[in-house]
Amino acid sequence: MKHALLIVCACALTVLFVSAVPAQDNSAGIIQYRQKVMGAQSGHLGGIGQILKHSLPFKEDIPSHARAVANLAKLLPKLFPEGTGEGKTDALPKIWQDMDGFKKAAGKLEQEASKLAQVAQSGDSGAIMAQLKKTGKACGGCHKKFRQPKEKRKSWKKKK
């Protein structure tokens, strides 16, 4: 009986250890993935802005970009697991110190991005631009509070 209990405890500890390790073992990969997702989101928002600002002949692409932004916004909270605040990242420790505040800010982005996807279906350039600005403001609100200021960002980033 003691032997069986020992095996059960060992298995339970192994499961706990293995489930806690991935973020630490894969933190560099998670950080890189997170940066790619954020870059993609920025690219889609920028694409919408360029189409509208320059009256480019790609207005029919705006709903696709807007849906992508909305879908990517849903991913954000899970892209910041515990143990991914060190390394090549500009994420501030405040994310993990105030996870509820971070999730609230990410939720605001998700709401605004969802509205952008809805408004984009209308084809109304003025309404789309207005919602694009609100969505961008939601992005910036999170960045101001939870990302290193531009002048303090890491030197490991590529210079443009």
At 150, the pLDDT band (50, 70, 90 cuts) reads confident
Is residue 55 domain-resident? yes
d(CA 139, CA 62): 18
pLDDT in tens, 43-101: 999 999 999 999 999 999 999 999 999 999 999 999 999 999 999 999 999 999 999 99
- Of 95, 49, 62, give the one whose Cα is nearest residue 76: 95
Is residue 1 domain-resident? no
Is residue 50 domain-resident? yes
* Residue range(s) defining the domain that contains residue 136: 27-148
Residue with tokens 């600005």: 133
d(CA 105, CA 88): 23
Is residue 87 domain-resident? yes
Kindly report the CATH number assigned to the domain that includes residue 34.
1.20.120.10
At 157, the pLDDT band (50, 70, 90 cuts) reads low
Q: Cβ neighbours of residue 29 under 8 Å, at least 6 residues apart?
A: none
Is residue 11 domain-resident? no
**Domain tally, the chain:** 1
Is residue 38 domain-resident? yes
> What Cα–Cα distance (Å) separates residue 126 from each residue in 42, 52, 63, 119?
20, 9, 14, 10
Is residue 155 domain-resident? no
Is residue 64 domain-resident? yes
